[in-house]
């Protein structure tokens, strides 16, 4: 059905241009959008109006091309409807995209065009096309394209790289024609030697120690494609991210156009997705190192000595940070509390819960109403937080100056009390912490004699595996205790040496923690 315009229709009101293309993206993934549309396609990000910025998303432009990405909560990628972006030198664009890890797809031919398709990071279909030269009216050229041999291209590129490595900006800009153009997703498009010199100055200021390795050079007439790898240290931050101080490496494609032996166009295409991935990894590694320092500070008190007992402990996480903890807590009644725990899982989540539990014991233990009551209160608090699939095994013992040892075991590996009568295992208590809210714990009181030693440990000791995939096991631990040296420090070292010797070069799969306490009668 054809619709007639109204009688008073004004032709001056007709559509005159396509202002922009809108695409959808999932929430919270703006960094990936910038890496693709800015880093790989070379579009420049422009700020969204303040009233729209709060919705998230990104806007990108280059000349008349405008692509707006808006956040859609229930996002589904556009697999059929798509924008078609017209480019210059489609082959170079394809090489840059593939170097950035983007898969290229071909479809049915379109008369008069070369084209291919890619997906943006969210699965939206993007078409890139270029008119076939014979179908485009060519303006008269003053001269034919200068054709370079591979040797000439290699010499020119090497000269450029040598001057860049020496950071000699004055000699660098001599490689460029007066009217040269430089294009980069970092600084946009600049013209003239002075502006290009500023881009190099910015690069040197951002990366004080960068090194370039050329992996391949492609020559097509007066055009050169340089495939290279960059290694540097992220000291100043890039792409709006804070500096990590860590080494990073990424790929760079230089598309150079030569005229009379000088550069007239220098286009730099970074593997921006790879850069962002490496920067994010470096940031996480730095945060993990900081977390490890905090955890070491919390476990810094590895020894305790009083008139009636001596304690020493150590913990070796299998990752940067771990889920094991132990502590020695001085009690107002004159005794000392000994606590050891093992949180389910590994890594940051387990370490956070371990720190939480260590803090809970520091608050609850000094009340002095005994290990069973202390475990009951902490279990109730932990269960109330409803941390899914997060629980811990814990053993808590109190040694009094008169030699009384009172303990409660919440599902932990059974500590071993070594005395002149042999080895006794401490098995009284209740279930693991955090699994059940309404449980109570039992406790037992024993009498220590001079020289008795209590060894607490986590399952990282007995479940340590050798290269032959055999467990260290309880029997080897008990053998260590039966041959125990008289001093806690010597016994601790003896146990760790036995585990290391058994495991050899096998990768550590769990945190390993041991604490040894000896009693001295007064």
- Give one DSSP letter per residue of 99-167, joined into a string: HTT---B--S-BTTEEEEEEE-TTS-EEEEEEE-GGGSPPPPPSSPPPPPPHHHHHHHHHHHHHHHHTT
Question: CA 452, 458, 463: angle at the middle one, nearest 5?
Answer: 120
From 118, 22, 19, 34, select the one nearest 71 (Cα to Cα).
22
Residue 257 pairs with which residues in a beta bridge?
Answer: 223, 265
Q: For residues 100 and 272, is the Cβ–Cβ distance under 8 A?
A: yes
Q: For residues 195 and 203, is the Cβ–Cβ distance under 8 A?
A: no
Judging by beta carbons within 10 Å of its beta carbon (0-12, 13-18, 19+), is residue 37 exposed, middle or buried? buried
- Residue 444, H or E segment: strand 444-447
SS3 at position 217: strand
Q: How far is CA 379 from the centre of its chain?
A: 33
Q: For residues 351 and 291, is the Cβ–Cβ distance under 8 A?
A: yes
User: What pLDDT is stored for residue 235 in this prediction?
Assistant: 65
Whole-angstrom distance, CA of residue 341 vs CA of residue 81: 56
Length of the chain: 522
From 187, 212, 189, select the one nearest 201 (Cα to Cα).
187
Intervals of the chain under pLDDT 50: 1-2, 11, 135-145, 239, 272, 274-276, 279, 295, 300-301
User: What pLDDT is stored for residue 275 in this prediction?
Assistant: 46
User: What pLDDT is stored for residue 277 in this prediction?
Assistant: 54
Q: For residues 248 and 281, is the Cβ–Cβ distance under 8 A?
A: no
Helix/strand/coil percentages in the chain, nearest 5: 30, 30, 40
Whole-angstrom distance, CA of residue 132 vs CA of residue 290: 56
Whole-angstrom distance, CA of residue 312 vs CA of residue 310: 7
**473-482 and 488-503 are packed helices; what angle lies between their axes, rounded to 10 degrees?**
140
**3.30.365.10, 3.10.180.10, 3.30.465.10, 2.70.180.20: CATH of 19-133:** 3.10.180.10
Structure tokens at 516: 């040894």
Q: 356: how many CB neighbours lie within 10 A of its CB?
A: 18
Buried b (16+ CB within 10 A) or exposed e, 82-98: bbebebebbebbbbbbe
Strands (E), 246-391: 247-259, 262-270, 303-305, 309-316, 324-330, 336-343
Q: For residues 494 and 287, is the Cβ–Cβ distance under 8 A?
A: no
In the block, residue with structure tokens 């910038």 = 34
User: What pLDDT is stored for residue 357 in this prediction?
Assistant: 84
**3.40.50.300, 3.40.50.12280, 3.40.449.10, 3.60.40.10: CATH of 299-519:** 3.60.40.10
Q: What is the DSSP letter of 366?
A: G
State the architecture of 150-286 in CATH terms: Roll (3.10)
User: What pLDDT is stored for residue 101 in this prediction?
Assistant: 81
Question: Roughly how many angstroms between the first and final C-alpha of the chain, as a whole number?
Answer: 106
User: What pLDDT is stored for residue 400 in this prediction?
Assistant: 94
Whole-angstrom distance, CA of residue 363 vs CA of residue 379: 14
Q: How far is CA 51 from the centre of its chain?
A: 32
Q: What is the DSSP letter of 400?
A: -
Task: Name the residue ranges covered by the structural domains of the chain.
Answer: 19-133, 150-286, 299-519
Whole-angstrom distance, CA of residue 102 vs CA of residue 123: 11
Q: For residues 221 and 147, is the Cβ–Cβ distance under 8 A?
A: yes
Sequence-distant (6+) residues with CB within 8 A of 412 are 340, 341, 342, 393, 394, 395, 429, 458
Residue 327 pairs with which residues in a beta bridge?
Answer: 339
Q: What is the largest CA-CA distance in the chain?
A: 111
């Amino acid at each position: 059905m054809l619709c007639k315009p109204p009688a008073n229709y004004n032709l001056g009101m007709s559509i005159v241009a396509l202002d922009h293309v809108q695409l959808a993206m999932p929430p919270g993934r703006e960094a990936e959008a910038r890496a693709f549309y800015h880093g790989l396609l070379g579009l420049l990000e422009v700020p969204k109006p303040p009233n729209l910025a709060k919705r998230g998303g990104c806007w990108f432009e280059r000349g008349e091309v405008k692509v707006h990405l808006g956040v859609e909560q229930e996002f589904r990628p556009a697999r059929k409807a798509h924008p078609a972006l017209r480019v210059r030198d489609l082959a170079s664009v394809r090489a840059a995209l593939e170097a950035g890890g983007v898969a290229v797809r071909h479809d049915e031919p379109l008369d008069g065009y070369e084209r291919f398709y890619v997906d943006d990071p969210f699965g939206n279909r993007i078409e890139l096309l270029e008119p076939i030269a014979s179908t485009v009216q060519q303006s008269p050229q003053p001269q034919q394209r200068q054709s370079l041999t591979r040797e000439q291209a290699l010499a020119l590129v090497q000269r450029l790289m040598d001057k860049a490595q020496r950071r000699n900006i004055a000699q660098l800009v001599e490689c460029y024609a007066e009217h040269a153009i430089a294009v980069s997703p970092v600084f946009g498009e600049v013209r003239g030697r002075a502006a290009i010199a500023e881009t190099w100055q910015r690069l040197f200021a951002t990366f004080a120690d960068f090194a370039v390795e050329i992996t391949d050079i492609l020559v097509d007439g007066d055009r050169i494609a340089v495939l290279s790898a960059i290694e540097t240290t992220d000291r100043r931050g890039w792409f709006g991210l804070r500096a990590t101080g860590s080494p990073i490496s990424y790929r760079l494609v230089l598309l150079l156009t030569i005229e009379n032996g000088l550069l007239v166009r220098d286009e730099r295409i970074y593997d921006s997705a790879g850069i962002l991935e490496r920067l994010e990894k470096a940031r996480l590694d730095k945060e993990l190192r900081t977390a490890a320092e905090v955890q070491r500070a919390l476990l810094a008190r590895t020894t305790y000595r009083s008139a009636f007992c001596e304690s020493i402990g150590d913990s070796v996480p299998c990752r940067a940070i771990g889920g094991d903890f132990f502590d020695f807590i001085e009690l107002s009644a004159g005794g000392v509390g000994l606590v050891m725990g093992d949180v389910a899982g590994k890594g940051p989540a387990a370490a956070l819960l371990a720190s939480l539990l260590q803090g809970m014991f520091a608050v609850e233990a000094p009340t002095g109403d005994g290990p069973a009551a202390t475990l009951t209160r902490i279990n109730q608090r932990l269960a109330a937080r409803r941390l899914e699939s997060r629980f811990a095994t814990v053993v808590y013992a109190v040694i009094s100056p008169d030699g009384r040892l009172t303990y409660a075991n919440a599902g932990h590996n059974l500590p071993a009390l070594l005395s002149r009568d042999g080895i006794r295992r401490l098995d009284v208590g209740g279930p693991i912490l955090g699994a059940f809210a309404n449980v109570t714990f039992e406790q037992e009181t024993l009498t220590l004699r001079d020289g008795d030693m209590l060894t607490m440990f986590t399952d990282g000791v007995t479940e340590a595996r050798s290269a032959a995939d055999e467990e260290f096991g309880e029997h080897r631990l008990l053998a260590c205790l039966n041959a125990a040296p008289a001093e806690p420090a010597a016994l601790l070292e003896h146990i760790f040496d036995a585990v290391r010797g058994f495991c050899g070069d096998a990768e550590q799969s769990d945190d390993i923690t041991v604490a040894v306490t000896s009693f001295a009668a007064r």
